[in-house]
Amino acid sequence: MTSESAVSDVTGITQACGTGNTNPLPQAERVTIFDTTLRDGEQSPGCSMDPRQKLKVAEALARLRVDVIEAGFPIASPGDFESVRNIAQRIEGPVIAALARCQDADIDRAAEAIRDAERGRLHVFLATSAIHREHKLGMAREEIIRRAVEGVRRARDLRDDVEFSPEDAARTEPEFLAEVVEAVIDAGATTINIPDTVGYTTPAELEALFTYVRTHVRGIDAITLSVHCHDDLGMAVANSLAAVRAGARQVECTINGIGERAGNAALEEVVMALRTRQDVFNAHTEIDTTKLCATSRLVSTITGSHVQRNKAIVGENAFSHEAGIHQHGVLKRRETYEIMRPEDVGYREGNLVLGKHSGKHAIRARIEALGYQITEDELAEVVKRFKPLADRKKEILDADLEALVLGSDPAEQGPWRLVSLATNGGTQHLQTGSVEMVRIDTGATISEASVGDGPVDAMFKAIARATGVRMTLTDFRVRSVSSGEDAQGEAWIDADVDGRRVRGRGLSTDIVEAAALACVEIVNTYTRTSERIAASQTAAEEVTA
């Protein structure tokens, strides 16, 4: 008997403790991964993304091999519509889903947004629980069924792939839920998703509800049963897995678990739990797990929503062993304390990669090794920003390179550019900040100075004076993206400008400069949007005149 099988015998687990388990067991059933990072995830406070960022996330999700990308809620705003359409036109591989309420205008708009998708899905939803029926919708049970059926029929007239979600299903009376589900299957729904909208249920309860639905709904075996859990009580992943045990064959989840309120089930946790414990769940996914860490970093960098160090699977500490006894055990045999291999999730320590003599080809090769794909133009942009950074830093680490790849283009698009800045801090004197800014399109240079509540505040005020953009800071976060004395600092600022919430990100080895660059990004985003709106109003007035 090998020592590996000895371990299996002791624990009663038939697999070799999870590590190295890459192939599905012969009887393992396929679970579809429906990623809703761009829809439910984007709804989470502070996680909004612009269309360019959404496309980057969608590309990464396609590389991760998710089965379905829920790209957005097209009726919500013209920006959402455009973004879904853009993704539907450009992303190949996954099914592209768009969300709609059971209303004609919503469904038509969603169908229009995914018109060019190679494979598209309409996802319609309507709340079914008593509390939503009475207090939100003011509809009786019969009306809910009628509207749900009409919504699904309209969607089926437009697309063959239609998902229906009875919102707040986990708090819906099971017999009514079964009635709704049966009616929408008859109307043509091809996937039925059971959401725990408010993160209220428990694994045992949800397993029982899925079993109930599976045994009480006619036609249930002809459709795909899906689960969608929120994390208000910290049970979203456990609940999703319980649903899989009871027959769910699609799991809806988000990268890093971002989402409405406490978030959704974390994709990386669901996928690795299914893979590591195939013996329990008897299921597998088609996800390329080696891309999990890179995708997690991309989403956290784009949204500014950082992953806690001890986060399962993708946290910085997920595979580091501090205790001597653990290190000793891992050195002797890694399975003593590791149930997954770090390389299987693409986990890596920050490592020295490039320096100031590195050329374009080496930079591209490293970027690709990190799991990113970039165009020639994007590479040229990275190379442009790489050189000054390499002059300031001895070592360019992977994290530095990633930060450049995901860099803040809006600041470079102008119209404003920071030429220089100086601040004066300390506890004894008034803090001051001065900046020199250039307006790229006109060449005008403006210098301004201000006092403030600290050097950063003084510098913000000086930028506001120079550009004429009045902003109120609502959030300011800084963190280091790599390690060492000359690590790059990343600053995130949220500001209220003219009643609009605008976000900026800045990156520099100097944290005050990073904050200034984030502030310039806010000024630029705001100025460009205002100028665009003003231009379209003038055009409209000219047409009317």
Q: Which residues bind ligand KIV (CB under 6 A)?
A: 40, 125, 165, 167, 193, 195, 197, 228, 230
- SS3 percent helix, strand, coil of the chain, rounded to 5, is 45, 20, 30
303: partner contacted, choices ligand KIV, Zn ion, none (Cβ within 5-8 A by kind) = none
Judged by beta carbon distances under 5 to 8 A according to partner kind, the member of ligand KIV, Zn ion, none in contact with residue 42 is: none
Q: What are the Cα distances from residue 85, in Å, to 51, 90, 277, 320?
A: 10, 9, 38, 42
Which of the choices ligand KIV, Zn ion, none does residue 167 contact, using the CB cut-off of 5 to 8 A by kind? ligand KIV
Give me the least distance between CB of 73 and ligand KIV, in Å please.
Answer: 9
If the CB atoms of residues 56 and 230 are measured against ligand KIV, the closer one turns out to be 230
CA angle 12, 234, 169 (to 5 degrees): 100
Q: Minimal distance in Å, beta carbon 198 to Zn ion?
A: 9
| Least separation in angstroms between CB 443 and ligand KIV | 49
Q: Considering beta carbons, is residue 116 or 232 the nearer one to ligand KIV? A: 232
Q: 275: which DSSP letter?
A: H
Report the distance separating Cα 296 and Cα 313, nearest Å: 10
**Radius of gyration over alpha carbons of the chain, in Å?**
26
Alpha-carbon distance of 436 to 237, in angstroms, equals 50
- Residue 200 or 476: the one with the smaller Cβ distance to Zn ion is 200
Q: Which is nearer to ligand KIV, 125 or 416 (CB)?
A: 125
Sequence-ordered list of residues with C-beta below 8 angstroms from that of 355, at least 6 positions apart, any chain? 390, 394, 395, 396
Give the strand pairing for 396-397 and 68-72.
unpaired
125 makes contact, choosing from ligand KIV, Zn ion, none, with CB < 5 to 8 Å by partner type, with ligand KIV
Let me know: does 509 contact 487? Beta carbons within 8 Å. Answer: yes
- Which partner from the list Zn ion, ligand KIV, none does 165 bind, CB cut-off 5 to 8 Å by kind? ligand KIV
Nearer to Zn ion, 264 or 432 (CB): 264
| C-beta separation of 202 from 208 below 8 A | no
Q: Applying CB under 5 A, does 70 fall inside the site for Zn ion?
A: no
- Closer residue to Zn ion (CB): 166 or 433: 166
Compose the 180-219 pattern: x for residues touching Zn ion by CB under 5 A, - for all others.
Answer: ----------------------------------------
Phi, psi of 154 (to 5 degrees): -65, -40
Q: What is the three-class DSSP state of 32?
A: strand
Is the bond preceding residue 195 a cis peptide, omega within 30 degrees?
Answer: no
Residue with tokens 């693409």: 346
Closest distance to Zn ion from the beta carbon of 6 (Å): 45
Distance CA 400, CA 395 (A): 9
Binding of Zn ion by 40 (CB under 5 A): yes
Among the residue ranges 17-25, 27-35, 38-46, 455-463, the one whose residues contact Zn ion (CB under 5 A): 38-46
Rounded least distance, CB 228 to Zn ion, Å? 6
**Which option in Zn ion, ligand KIV, none does residue 191 bind, with CB closer than 5 to 8 A by kind?**
none
Nearest-approach distance from CB 152 to Zn ion, in angstroms:
19
Is the Cβ of residue 163 or residue 513 nearer to ligand KIV in the bound state?
163
422 contact partners, CB below 8 Å, separation of at least 6:
433, 434, 435
Quote the CA–CA distance of 82 and 76 in Å, as a whole number.
11
Angle at Cα 125 formed by Cα 121 and Cα 130, nearest 5°? 160
In terms of CB distance, is 44 or 303 closer to ligand KIV? 44
Task: For ligand KIV, give the closer residue by CB, 261 or 470.
Answer: 261
Tell me the closest approach of the beta carbon of residue 229 to ligand KIV, in angstroms: 8
Shortest Cβ 99–ligand KIV spacing (Å): 6
Least CB distance to Zn ion at residue 168 (A): 10
Q: Which two tokens stand for residue 167?
A: 């919102």
Within the chain, what is the greatest distance between any pair of CA atoms? 89
Give the span between the Cα atoms of 27 and 24, in whole angstroms: 8
3-class DSSP state for residue 189? Answer: coil
* 428 Cβ neighbours under 8 A, 6+ residues apart: none
Between the alpha carbon of residue 151 and those of residues 126, 313, 523, the distances in Å are 9, 39, 43
Q: Which is nearer to ligand KIV, 107 or 437 (CB)?
A: 107
Least distance CB 36 / ligand KIV (angstroms): 7
Q: What tokens appear for 252 in the block?
A: 């809806």
Q: Return the number of the residue (261 or 394) whose C-beta is nearest ligand KIV.
A: 261
End-to-end CA distance of the chain: 89
Query: Which region, judged by CB under 5 A, interacts with Zn ion, from 36-44, 145-153, 303-311, 360-368?
Result: 36-44
d(CA 417, CA 406): 19
Nearer to Zn ion, 241 or 435 (CB): 241
Nearest approach in angstroms of CB 253 to Zn ion is 10
Q: How far is the CB of 39 from Zn ion (least distance, A)?
A: 8
> Which residue has the closest beta carbon to Zn ion?
40
CB 163 to ligand KIV: min, Å: 9
Residue 296 binding result from Zn ion, ligand KIV, none, given CB thresholds of 5 to 8 Å by partner type? none
Cα separations (Å) of 266 from 12, 60, 479, 484? 28, 16, 23, 31
For residue 134, give the amino acid letter. Answer: E
Answer yes or no whether residue 335 interacts with Zn ion by CB under 5 A.
no
Our CB check for ligand KIV shows the closer of 195 and 506 to be 195
Residues that bind Zn ion (CB under 5 A): 40
